[in-house]
Amino acid sequence: MLGKRMEAVMAGFGGQGVMVMGQILAYSAMRAGLEVTWMPSYGPEQRGGTANCTVVVSTGDIASPIVARPHVAVVMNTPSYEKFEPRVLPHGVLLVNSSLVPERSYRTDIDAFYIPVLEEAADLGNEKMANVIMVGALAAATGVLSLENFSGQLPYFFKGRKAKLLDMNVRALRVGYDLIPEKDRHPLYFKEVASSG
């Protein structure tokens, strides 16, 4: 029996950390006891080419990892915006890297958030944290999992030589979360959303 689910796509250029964004969501949901799929898709070049991944998080069985029309789209560049903005389901969430994407959605049936992740990451001292800032924004905008669920999984991604970056990325996650105004957060979004089929 299929349960409630959230189907998400993260998209951008290779090298922007979109795969890691999806992995953080997937691992966090898995550790929270939910069913999860994560599926990557690369363009002709890993760095500089297009890249996206889909994540399905569900309270029940997942029949397919393929996401044609996501509930949530995170777009890190203009080609990704142009491809996925029209596909977001009504009442869904669109998270846009406004540092690189000047476009604004005219849709009135979705919640769109424009996050200047590069500027925010630069303020923290490292532009490579832009993707983690966006994960924090996703946590706030969707309510799929708590911020603590996400931050609890960061040590998996920042260990060994990267362990020194852990505290900074935990702060980046919080920065992204706080960029979504409290009035715009959806604490019940995951429970209310239905499968796109």
Query: Cα Rg for the chain, rounded, in angstroms?
Result: 15
State the pTM of this model: 0.90
Domains and CATH numbers, the chain: 5-99+107-181 (3.40.920.10)
Which residues of the chain fall short of a pLDDT of 70?
1-3, 43-49, 186-197
DSSP 162: G
DSSP H or E segment with residue 58: strand 50-58
* Nearest residue to 142 via CA among 9, 3, 2, 39: 9
Residue length of the chain:
197
Is the separation of the CB atoms in 167 and 132 below 8 Å? Answer: no
End-to-end CA distance of the chain: 13
- All residues at 6 or more sequence positions from 186 whose CB lies less than 8 Å from its CB, including other chains: 93, 111, 141, 142, 143
Predicted confidence at residue 64, as pLDDT, reads 85
Predicted confidence at residue 109, as pLDDT, reads 93
Is the separation of the CB atoms in 172 and 131 below 8 Å? Answer: no
Predicted confidence at residue 175, as pLDDT, reads 97
Determine phi and psi for 120, rounding to 5 degrees: -65, -40
Residue carrying structure tokens 């800032």: 133
Predicted confidence at residue 89, as pLDDT, reads 93
Q: How far apart are CA 139 and CA 192, in angstroms?
A: 16
Is the separation of the CB atoms in 79 and 18 below 8 Å? Answer: no
Predicted confidence at residue 148, as pLDDT, reads 92
